[in-house]
Structure 1
Amino acid sequence: MKGKIKIKRLEVKKGMYLRDKDFHGNSGWTLASKWFWNQVKERVGEVVKAEMRINTKDIPYLILYTTTDVKVCLYGLNAGYGGTGPQAAVEILSEAGFNPKRAKETVFNNETFVLRRRPKGVAQYV
């Protein structure tokens, strides 16, 4: 993949905005987004929010928000049906700590959405 060297040297810092297409040069390619996620997931912090958006050019993308204020933007994922892009979105959301059943239901039935989860170790109020 084109961006391997850039990612190996990447120092992830609080507040960064990481866009997959800046590293591999592709937009809208599911495998490239999955590759990018696998390269950075251990370095960005715990994911606590996921938001599927559609930009002004009708291009969907997923933003993952972390406890370290890092945002990971994946342009090869989409939602609203059961295809390859949405299936990859469900896989990544599940890896990121979201309930797999809820992720699948949300992704397959909505073109845009927001999912939130509590960070590990944060008590739930009764």
Structure 2
Amino acid sequence: MNKYLIMTFFAVLLLAGCIPKTEDVQVLKASPLDYELYLYTDSDEQEAAKNYMSALLDWKVKQQDTEELEFKQQEMNSDNLRLTKEDLPALVVKKEGKTVKTIKGDNRHNDILTALEDSINMTGSYTEKPS
């Protein structure tokens, strides 16, 4: 009986090692007016998100209502995302709960900024500061 108990324990231990591990993803969220901006980044590879962070900050500086635009950071389990690890970093722009634009993977700062501005300007809600 002891032999079966030990074998069962080892079998459970081996099977537990086969279960894929979930990872945490860093989420930076901002909610300007009726938009929601989500920046998803891999917790282990923050270097890859620098262009996204820089583009978001540059976009924020251009906005008229910068006092109202706050970024909040949290962690999320990667199982709850509709993105794969290969998609990260990713910037998701939503309006009224619907995804307007998803920018993912390795992108240049200017490409991210342009896509962000285009996705928000095409619905005409947020405007830049006058020059």
TM-score by length of 1: 0.30
The higher radius of gyration belongs to 2
Relative contact order, CA 8 A, sep 6+: which one is greater? 2
TM-score by length of 2: 0.29
Structure with greater helix percent: 2
Structure with greater strand percent: 2
